Structure 1
Amino acid sequence: MPLKKIYIIDDDPIYKLVTQKLIGKTNLFSEPKEFNNGNEAITYFEATTDLPDILLLDLEMPEMDGWEFLDEFCKLKKKIDKQSTVYIASSSIALEDKLKAQKYECVRDFLSKPINLDKLQKIAEED
């Protein structure tokens, strides 16, 4: 079974570093790409058909936050025939955010930060 592509969209460099190290330990994913905000990711996705299998998405980011990214990503996904699953990885504990996330067809789950090995293994098994 080929390794799954996982991309991280988050503006926190420490979170990205720790998550990258965890991803490396699982041996379940190919080399992850990372983006500092939704705008960087959308620009990349518009220029390529290289959509990942899994996206770990933060909500609170400069330039383009997670919600704005989801709006654009859902439009983009309709043009590209590739299944990508989004996991919101947020420190938000607001019920409104969890309910709003359920309205997006491409969002599989709302995960509380930090991500740990167990969560990554479950993500790999789900898709």
Structure 2
Amino acid sequence: MNFWLIDDDSIYIMIARRFLEKDGRATKLKDFQDGEVALQQLRELSGDREELPDAILLDINMPFMDGWQFLDEFKKIQNKLAKKITIFMVSSSVDERDIVKANSFSEVKGYLSKPLTQDHIQKLYSELM
């Protein structure tokens, strides 16, 4: 499976990479510290099923484009992408409003609280299968 990590926290990205690599089902991992850069990549790779991610782990709070803004822009381009991409929100926020808002997006399959754990990875895969 091809995963994209969109988060400005380099330590989180390192931990998430380790969990995904340890599990062994992730065949490609790409990370972005800015949602805008990730959106540009999605646009450029829109017809390439092999390079597009199967799933995106998306942070809410980022400096240039936050997760909510990313989702708003993603909704505009998702029908132009060569495959369906599943998005999981990953955040340190336990604010119920963030969880409800994330679940209001049909593009979001789940909400995972940081710190990421191996149990989170198992839940993620069960949602993808």
TM-score higher than 0.5: yes
Please list every run of at least 4 consecutive aligned residues from structure 1 whose deviation after the TM superposition is greater than 2 angstroms: none
Moved more, 22-31 or 8-17: 22-31
Query: TM-score by structure 2 length?
Result: 0.91
Among candidates 6, 9, 29, match of residue 9 of structure 1: 6
**Residue type of the partner of 1:107?**
V
Any stretches of 5+ residues in structure 2 without a counterpart? none
The residue that corresponds to 1:84 in the other structure is 85
Distance 1:80 1:96 in 2: 30
Amino acid at match of 1:65: D
Deviation of residue 124 (structure 1)? 1.6
Residue matched to 2:43: 46
Amino acid at match of 2:103: Q
- RMSD over aligned CA atoms reads 1.1
Give the SS at the match of 1:32. Answer: strand
Listed as ranges, the matches of 1:1-127 within 5 Å are 4-49=1-46, 50-127=51-128
CA distance in 1, matches of 2:111, 2:123: 13
Contact 2:88 2:111 in 1 (8 A): yes
Superimposed CA distance per residue, residues 95-118 of structure 1 (whole angstroms, 9 cap, x where no aligned partner): 111111112111011110011112
TM-score (norm 1): 0.92
Distance 2:123 2:60 in 1: 21
Q: SS where residue 111 of structure 2 aligns? A: strand
SS in structure 2 opposite 1:67? helix
